[in-house]
Amino acid sequence: SAVISQKPSRDICQRGTSLTIQCQVDSQVTMMFWYRQQPGQSLTLIATANQGSEATYESGFVIDKFPISRPNLTFSTLTVSNMSPEDSSIYLCSVSPSGANVLTFGAGSRLTVL
Amino acid sequence: LAKTTQPISMDSYEGQEVNITCSHNNIATNDYITWYQQFPSQGPRFIIQGYKTKVTNEVASLFIPADRKSSTLSLPRVSLSDTAVYYCLVGASSGGYQKVTFGTGTKLQVIP
């Protein structure tokens, strides 16, 4: 199965700043998914990122707040913009390798906004 | 996307078999049932997937009745390392990937 590396693993940020999270996969994948997991909660899908096209955002998430890049088939970034304490969460990158019907997740990036 | 309902938490003693049931009354014909395990500070990890009847792998068994409106994840002889949150998901493969919605999950606490 695919191996996913996320950076940073954790960070503490100031209110009003932005942070970009990187997701690197060891194989080429068509789709990459970004999830948010708020403290003590389940996972919520933010958006689906396809290489060469605009990301598709889920209800409640907008591109201005969570811009996503997908420059190639092994890499994606998620930016959390103009952060507030409510953005304190774990952000997870996920892929579904071609032909598979399951998701592989990275370890996540834990953001704390002060 | 089909919604799932599962117990919020469960406790079990080491060495016991644990059964976690998930309800998915609105499951669609082409939906699969997938279970994931999540440890603290890690992303969810795939455990098992099935469509109907019974599926078994080296980690768990998955029982799905004929109407597919529920499923049961069975973990044989749990150990302390099985303490985790277990998520039941239903969804269909579309274009080679599975778009799914995570439910609340079941927090399993294994007691010595």
A1 neighbors A94 (Cβ within 8 angstroms): no
Q: What is the pLDDT of residue A99?
A: 53
Q: Locate tokens 């899908």: which residue?
A: A45
Q: What are phi and psi of B61, to 5 degrees?
A: -125, 150
Length of chain B: 112
Which of B17, B19, B54, B58 lies closest to B33 in space, CA to CA? B54
The rounded distance, in Å, linking the Cα atoms of B31 and B39 is 26
Q: Would you say residue B94 has pLDDT above 60? A: no
Q: What is the pLDDT of residue A51?
A: 82
Q: Do B100 and A103 touch (CB under 8 A)?
A: yes
Q: Would you say residue B4 has pLDDT above 80? A: yes
Q: Locate tokens 């955002």: which residue?
A: A57
Q: What is the pLDDT of residue A54?
A: 87
Average the pLDDT over A89-100 and give the result: 83
- In angstroms, the first-to-last Cα distance of chain B is 38
Q: Do B43 and A44 touch (CB under 8 A)?
A: no
Q: Would you say residue B98 has pLDDT above 60? A: no
Q: Residue A87: CB partners within 8 Å, gap ≥ 6?
A: A80, A111, A113
Helix/strand/coil for A86: helix
Q: What is the pLDDT of residue A98?
A: 56
Average the pLDDT over A80-89 and give the result: 97
Angle among Cα B39, B30, B108 to the nearest 5 degrees reads 20
* Chain A residues within 8 angstroms (CB to CB) of chain B: 1, 4, 30-31, 35, 42-45, 48, 92, 94, 96, 98-108, 110
Q: Do A43 and B44 touch (CB under 8 A)?
A: yes
Average the pLDDT over A91-101 and give the result: 79
Q: What is the pLDDT of residue A102?
A: 83
Q: What is the pLDDT of residue B87?
A: 96
Average the pLDDT over B44-68 and give the result: 94
Average the pLDDT over B82-100 and give the result: 77
Query: DSSP letter at A26?
Result: S
The rounded distance, in Å, linking the Cα atoms of A53 and A70 is 8
Average the pLDDT over A41-56 and give the result: 90
How high does pLDDT run on average in chain B? 90
Q: Locate tokens 């980690």: which residue?
A: B59
Q: What is the pLDDT of residue B84?
A: 97
Average the pLDDT over A87-102 and give the result: 84
Count the neighbouring beta carbons within 10 Å of the beta carbon of residue A99: 8
The highest-confidence range among A10-14, A50-54, B3-7, B28-32, by mean pLDDT, is A10-14
Out of B32, B93, B102, the one facing A42 most closely (by C-beta) is: B102
Of residues B44 and B28, which shows the higher confidence score? B44
A86-98 burial: b if 16+ Cβ within 10 Å, else e: ebbbbbbbbbbbe
B-chain residue closest to A108, CA distance: B43
Binned at pLDDT 50, 70 and 90, residue A66 comes out as very high
Torsion region of B29: left, alpha or beta (phi above 0 gives left; psi -120 to 50 gives alpha)? alpha
Binned at pLDDT 50, 70 and 90, residue A6 comes out as very high
